[in-house]
Amino acid sequence: MRIRISLKNLPLILAIVSLIGVGAASAQSLAGVNTRLMKPLDSQSATVGESVAVRLEGSVKTPDGVKLPRGSALLGKVVAVTPSENGGPSSVSLVFTTAEVRGGRQIPVKATLLAAFPADENTAASYDASSMSTVARQVPADHSVNQQPGALPSITLKAAVRNSDSGTFSRADGNFKLAAGTFLQVGVAPAATAGSTSAAE
């Protein structure tokens, strides 16, 4: 059986190939890295669009070969907020979209929260980059997270690589606050629209 391709069908064929390519790019794996929250995040006062940033505690090389040195920042924003009313549930959803490396160079990224650990004066001795659970070097495209209260008292973290956001923190019975310095383990890779050029170290 012979298949004939007409030039008039070429745009349709290219569109289909493009969609397949987008699907493949969105199913990328991520590289894990430890980070720390740069400013507090409070479910009672947070607003949609509010900027959020974390600082990398170590360097990471993504599966695509992009290098993000220690000290680089992941920049993002709050995308949804539900403050507690009368002791009810609260939640804050975040998305990190940009890595900023030395010199101010910015790289579009896909980022997913993998775990969170407190870093206040009572727990700083218990949690640091060497004593937390080891962050995964490679995070598969079908990975999801459901961290129940424990590591973060009363706070749940839910996230999935396939989601468009980076993750959601929630509490069942009131508002919550993540202090500056809170440890966040993050899976990161260049966004599908980003090139594969390595950042300068």
Calculate the dihedral angle through the C-alpha atoms of 25, 30, 36, 38, rounding to the nearest 10 degrees: -10
d(CA 179, CA 1): 66
Query: Would you call 12 helix, strand, or coil by DSSP?
Result: helix
- CATH topology assigned to domain 29-190: Lipocalin (2.40.128)
The 10s digit of each residue's pLDDT in 24-62 is 334 579 999 999 999 999 999 999 999 999 999 999 998
What 3-state class would DSSP assign to 26? helix
The angle formed by the CA atoms of residues 25, 68 and 61, to the nearest 5 degrees, is 60
Length of the chain: 201
| Average pLDDT estimate for 171-179 | 96
Neighbour tally for 16: CB within 10 Å: 10
- Among residues 86, 68, 69, 95, which one has the least CA distance to residue 168? 95
Q: What is the model's pLDDT at position 133? A: 74
Buried b (16+ CB within 10 A) or exposed e, 26-49: eebbbbbbbbbbbeebbbeebeee
Share of the chain above pLDDT 70, in %: 76
Statement: residue 161 has pLDDT above 50: yes
Q: What is the reported pTM?
A: 0.79
Please name every residue paired with 158 in a beta bridge, in sequence order, or none if there are none. 146, 168
What is the C-alpha to C-alpha distance for residues 15 and 34, in angstroms, rounded to an integer? 39
Query: How does pLDDT run across 116-128, given as a tens digit for each residue?
Result: 998 754 554 444 4
pLDDT for the residue numbered 27? 57
